[in-house]
Chain A
Amino acid sequence: MLVERYAPLILSIPRRYGFRAAQADDVFADVCLALVRALPGLRDPQALPQWLIRTTSRATWEAARKAKVQPPDDLPPLTGAAPPEEMMSRLEDEQLVRDALAVLPERCRKLLTLLYFRAPTPSYDDVAREMGMPRGSLGPTRSRCLDRLRRHLEPKLERDVSTGGKRPPRS
């Protein structure tokens, strides 16, 4: 369950840094091993994504050195230390959305994904067809689903906004 939930987060880091699928799988395995060993000491569930990002970044950096993988020019270089703040924020936001969508009912998840997270955004007629529902029902359903998503995202968003975009210090 933990592995399923965080696998996209973990795999996305080495893949972004130019690793092929098999190489990214090796990094994923390294991080799973580190997680097994660290789990008994991890007491704050909120801190787990940050821990995984840091651990995966370090594992990616080590693997890149050994395999001489050249990272893309548009990404900040990885080091053995914590990844750059901007990258941490982007990865945390991605996980925030994944987690929020994951707890929604399947119908809401599918509708919001079609309306807001798929590029290019399909037309309302295409969304209605894909959802198997009348076009006129999309609006009310969308509002209910968006409200559910808001309840999951808003506490975090409001906290970020109230701190002027500055996130709390990382543990």
Chain B
Amino acid sequence: MAGTHVSFATLFDHLAGSERAQVSRHLQDCPACAARAERVVSILAAGRRALRAPRPSRKTLARALRIFREHRSASQPSILQLVLDSLLRPAPALRTAAAATPTRFLRYEGVATVELQVTPVRGRVELRGQVTPPDFAAEALLVSGTKKRRGKVAADGTFLWRAVPHGQVEIHIGTVRITGLDL
């Protein structure tokens, strides 16, 4: 193993308990890998703590939704509107289990806000979105590896791609680039 750095996956396995002896020897001689290992240790510990963290109850989420509804303001139309619209839909904790549970993302980039909803459909995904302000761009671009698919942005800012294969994609809308989406 000398001469090459230890991979992320090997570090995870090593620090989680397996492959310990072989990697330990390498870490003693490789300060770069030792530094990465230290961060992986903290991430593993953080993950364990994160999963122990309390989840909000239905009552707690409902109370939060009320706060957002009551403070809805006409003077804050763009970002807040979208955040509220996202929140006002049934939250996962309030939803009954569904076969194809959509995942939602909200990305606000200063100049525009993009909301995305990813829904698994027959082994692929349906990708719906809405950009605010709606006239921010007339077209959206879905980039998956070397493939590109254009989508028309409707007058209300909505756009849709059906039957998108799983994997990493990017979405380009005007100057906004949403990268690293893992479908």
Interface residues of A (CB under 8 A from B): 1-4, 7-9, 11-12, 15, 21, 24-25, 28-29, 32-33, 36-37, 39-40, 42-45, 89-90, 93-98, 101-105, 113, 115-119, 121, 143, 146-148, 150-154, 157-158, 160-161, 164-165
Given the known interface contacts A36-B71, A93-B43, A157-B39, the answer about A7 and B110 at a Cβ–Cβ threshold of 8 Å is: no
Closest Cβ–Cβ distance, residue B152 to chain A (whole Å): 25
Given the known interface contacts A4-B93, A117-B48, the answer about A33 and B38 at a Cβ–Cβ threshold of 8 Å is: no
Bound Cα distance from A116 to B51, whole angstroms: 11
Bound Cα distance from A113 to B47, whole angstroms: 8
Interface majority SS (helix, strand, loop, mixed), chain A: helix
Bound Cα distance from A115 to B9, whole angstroms: 12
Contacts of A8 in B (CB 8 A): 50, 53-56
B3 at the interface (CB under 8 A from A): no
List the count of A-B residue pairs having beta carbons below 8 Å apart: 159
In the complex, the answer to whether A157 meets B40 with C-beta atoms within 8 Å is yes
Interface residues of B (CB under 8 A from A): 8-9, 12, 16-17, 32, 35-36, 38-40, 42-51, 53-57, 59-61, 63-65, 67-68, 71, 76, 79-80, 83, 86-87, 91-93, 103-110, 166, 168, 180-183
Closest Cβ–Cβ distance, residue B126 to chain A (whole Å): 15
21 pairs across A/B with beta carbons < 8 Å?
Answer: A3-B56, A11-B56, A21-B57, A28-B60, A28-B64, A32-B63, A40-B76, A97-B47, A98-B50, A101-B47, A103-B181, A104-B182, A105-B183, A116-B12, A117-B51, A146-B12, A151-B180, A152-B182, A157-B39, A157-B40, A165-B39
Closest Cβ–Cβ distance, residue B72 to chain A (whole Å): 8
Given the known interface contacts A117-B47, A118-B51, the answer about A105 and B166 at a Cβ–Cβ threshold of 8 Å is: yes
In the complex, the answer to whether A161 meets B35 with C-beta atoms within 8 Å is yes
Contacts of B36 in A (CB 8 A): 157-158, 161
* Top-3 shortest CB links A-B: A93-B46, A1-B86, A7-B56
Of all chain A residues, which has the CB nearest B17?
Answer: A121
Of all chain A residues, which has the CB nearest B109?
Answer: A45
Bound Cα distance from A39 to B53, whole angstroms: 25
Contact for A94 among B53, B54, B83, CB less than 8 A: B53
Not counting A8-B56, A28-B56, A103-B103, a sample of 20 additional A-B residue pairs whose C-beta atoms are within 8 angstroms of each other reads A1-B87, A2-B83, A2-B106, A11-B53, A11-B55, A21-B54, A21-B57, A32-B64, A32-B67, A36-B67, A37-B71, A43-B108, A44-B110, A45-B107, A93-B45, A94-B50, A116-B12, A117-B48, A118-B48, A161-B39
Closest Cβ–Cβ distance, residue B84 to chain A (whole Å): 9
Contacts of A164 in B (CB 8 A): 35
Contact for B61 among A4, A94, A152, CB less than 8 A: A4
Contact for A39 among B32, B64, B83, B93, CB less than 8 A: B83
